[in-house]
Amino acid sequence: MEENKEQTTQPHKRRVRYKGTHPKRFEEKYKELNPEKYGDTIEHVIQKGGTPAGMHISIMVKEILDFLQIQPGQKGLDATLGYGGHTRAMLEQLKGQGHMHGLDVDPIESVKTKKRLADLGYGEEIMTVRQMNFADIDKLAEETGPFDFVLADLGVSSMQIDNPERGFSYKADGPLDLRLNPEAGISAAERLKTIDREELAGMLIENSDEPYAEEIARTITGAIRRGEKAETTLQVRALIEKALSFLPEKERKEAVKKACARTFQALRIDVNSEFEVLYAFLDKLPHILAPGGRAAILTFHSGEDRMVKKSFRQYQKAGLYSQVAEEVIRPSAEECVRNSRARSTKLRWAIRAEYQDD
């Protein structure tokens, strides 16, 4: 009897039903979160131009490989490991000879990617993964020696964007965190508590070219000063909607959407010191490349691209680079249809001079 009683008080909990191809909640997308088991579902989402939850579709893989010209036996670095899609493609070019190094500041995703690559047969004998900021490539090179090829993809991975617990997206409710490494620094919510209107407006202009920077900064800082909360993604989105309430109704929805994207971008850049980190990376990059070594960088907004362009040209003039991209390379129209997150991508490259004293 006692056994029957226990069975009735602890009923079997059924799994949440998969709600079509686009479930609303991240946790309910268990098919998308298991690409090995539900390949058909993954492909269906991709074919419709979406990115499966918890997954990242690598951008401009062919163009990157065409430029890097990877040869078996070479030593390479993926400075922004992410989901590991680019890394896997580069490893395939090595054909089991040489070595790849992958860096990522994210302690959550880097562990998953290391296992994902190991399961594909890329163990430590050919692939080394480290939780390290790519601003520290000089420290890595002290141990490894110079690299024959380097890739840096400056975009935020889709796994981070899609997970509401990370706070990267205004489309789902979650803590306003936005840190690439949630174990270091302060969250965007904490940052907003310490910032004044003028500084926030400047951040929005400098980091994302936000046209309504003054209105948004005034509304957010004013709300916090009155004791209102700006600690979750949806709370900040509501404040942005309030800031733009003066716009005509027919323009407001699209304006709010774009303003939210730019505001979250500006906050993310700030809490992760992304421009400072990129500057350090670009400053050290030519010095960790082997003679004739090749570097490719993917950027996703104008501020990043300007920094890469300026650095490449500066070091070409100094004789450290023999060639740099004169024009950006963009993804094909077909790729943009298949992966909407590719639309703003720009690829620039540089080749280390064959003979040059640092």
- Confidence (pLDDT) at 56: 57
Is 166 among the domain residues?
no
Whether residues 151 and 281 share a domain: the answer is yes
How would you classify residue 271: left for phi > 0, otherwise alpha for psi between -120 and 50, otherwise beta?
alpha
- Confidence (pLDDT) at 39: 52
Whether residues 154 and 14 share a domain: the answer is no
The CA distance from 345 to 303, in Å, is 12
Whether residues 299 and 311 share a domain: the answer is yes
The CA distance from 328 to 86, in Å, is 19
Whether residues 90 and 37 share a domain: the answer is no
Whether residues 148 and 286 share a domain: the answer is yes
265-297 pLDDT, tens digit each: 999 999 999 999 999 999 999 999 999 999 999
Domain count, the chain: 3
100-149 pLDDT, tens digit each: 999 998 888 889 899 999 999 999 999 999 999 999 999 999 999 999 99
- Confidence (pLDDT) at 284: 98
Whether residues 154 and 290 share a domain: the answer is yes
Is 289 among the domain residues?
yes
pLDDT tens string for the chain (358 positions)? 444 444 444 445 444 544 555 555 444 544 445 455 545 554 455 455 444 444 558 899 999 999 999 999 999 999 999 888 999 999 999 999 999 999 998 888 889 899 999 999 999 999 999 999 999 999 999 999 999 999 999 877 666 666 777 777 888 889 999 998 888 899 999 999 999 999 999 999 999 999 999 999 999 999 999 999 999 999 999 999 999 999 999 999 999 999 999 999 999 999 999 999 999 999 999 999 999 999 999 998 888 999 999 999 999 999 999 999 999 999 999 888 888 778 889 999 999 998 755 5
Q: Would the pTM count as exceeding 0.85?
A: no
- Confidence (pLDDT) at 298: 95
Is 168 among the domain residues?
no
Is 234 among the domain residues?
yes
Is 337 among the domain residues?
yes
**Kind of pairing, strands 147-153 and 289-299?**
parallel
Whether residues 190 and 236 share a domain: the answer is yes
CATH label of the domain that carries residue 215: 1.10.150
Whether residues 73 and 116 share a domain: the answer is yes
Is 300 among the domain residues?
yes
- Confidence (pLDDT) at 158: 61
Query: How crowded is the C-beta side of 190, counted as CA atoms within 13 Å?
Result: 10
Note the Cα 142 to chain centre separation in Å: 26
- Confidence (pLDDT) at 40: 57
- Confidence (pLDDT) at 77: 97
Residue 203: which domain range?
A: 182-271
Is 172 among the domain residues?
no
- Confidence (pLDDT) at 6: 45
Of the three residues 243, 271, 299, the one that is the final residue of a domain is 271
Residue ranges of alpha helices (H) inside the chain are 2-9, 39-47, 61-68, 85-94, 107-119, 137-144, 158-162, 188-194, 197-208, 213-225, 233-243, 249-271, 274-284, 302-317, 333-338
The CA distance from 240 to 33, in Å, is 31
Sheet containing strand 75-78, strands side by side: 127-131, 99-104, 75-78, 147-153, 289-299, 346-352, 321-324
Is 167 among the domain residues?
no
Of the three residues 249, 271, 293, the one that is the final residue of a domain is 271
Whether residues 225 and 140 share a domain: the answer is no
Whether residues 294 and 154 share a domain: the answer is yes
- Confidence (pLDDT) at 26: 46
CATH label of the domain that carries residue 290: 3.40.50.150
Tokens of 131: 């939780």
Query: How crowded is the C-beta side of 355, counted as CA atoms within 13 Å?
Result: 0
- Confidence (pLDDT) at 22: 54
Of the three residues 271, 306, 331, the one that is the final residue of a domain is 271
The 10 Å Cβ neighbour count of residue 208 is 23
Whether residues 239 and 281 share a domain: the answer is no
Mean pLDDT of the chain: 85
Whether residues 67 and 43 share a domain: the answer is no
